[in-house]
Amino acid sequence: MRKRLAFINEFFANRDGFIFPYVAFIVVLVLVTITGSINLYRNNIEMTNFNEEQLKIDTLFQMGKSQFKQELLPENLNTSNQYTFFFPHGSVDITVLSYTEKNIYAKYDISTTKQSKYVTFSSIHLE
């Protein structure tokens, strides 16, 4: 064990500057690793925020569709009708495009409280 420590002390006691390239390489490697980890962490935070917004949009779509079906009065239905529903995470504007006795084809304009916007078309099956 003593010889091993003597070798290590001799290696680090070298005054010719041979140790600097090793130290510089290790420092650069550590800095690159830390910088990469920070960038990955920022990207994960951003992706989490996008996923959260997407979940809010999907929830608003389902809530708007459900609310529309509950408040729907077929005798007042017109292709120019627009219904707006407000929820805690945003609002849903539903525009009736066409309808039959069994189906309603509608356009959904969804906007969240963080100003994310989404437009989709869907049919609602009447029971």
Q: What angle do CA 27, 31, 36 make, to 5 degrees?
A: 150
Write the pLDDT tens digit of every residue in 49-68: 999 999 999 999 999 999 98
In DSSP notation, the chain reads -HHHHHHHHHHHT--SS-HHHHHHHHHHHHHHHHHHHHHHHHHHHHHHHHHHHHHHHHHHHHHHHHHHHHH--GGG--TT-EEEEEETTEEEEEEEEEE-SSEEEEEEEEEETT--EEEEEEEEE--
Give CA–CA dist 11/78, Å, rounded: 88
Retrieve residue 48's tokens: 């989490």
The per-residue pLDDT for 8 is 59
The per-residue pLDDT for 13 is 60
The per-residue pLDDT for 3 is 54
Residue 17 banded pLDDT, cuts 50, 70, 90: low
Write the pLDDT tens digit of every residue in 36-48: 999 999 999 999 9
Residue 3: Cβ within 10 Å count: 7
Residue 100 banded pLDDT, cuts 50, 70, 90: confident
- Percent pLDDT > 90 in the chain is 50
| Statement: residue 76 has pLDDT above 60 | yes
Q: Where are the domains of the chain?
A: 2-125
pTM: 0.73
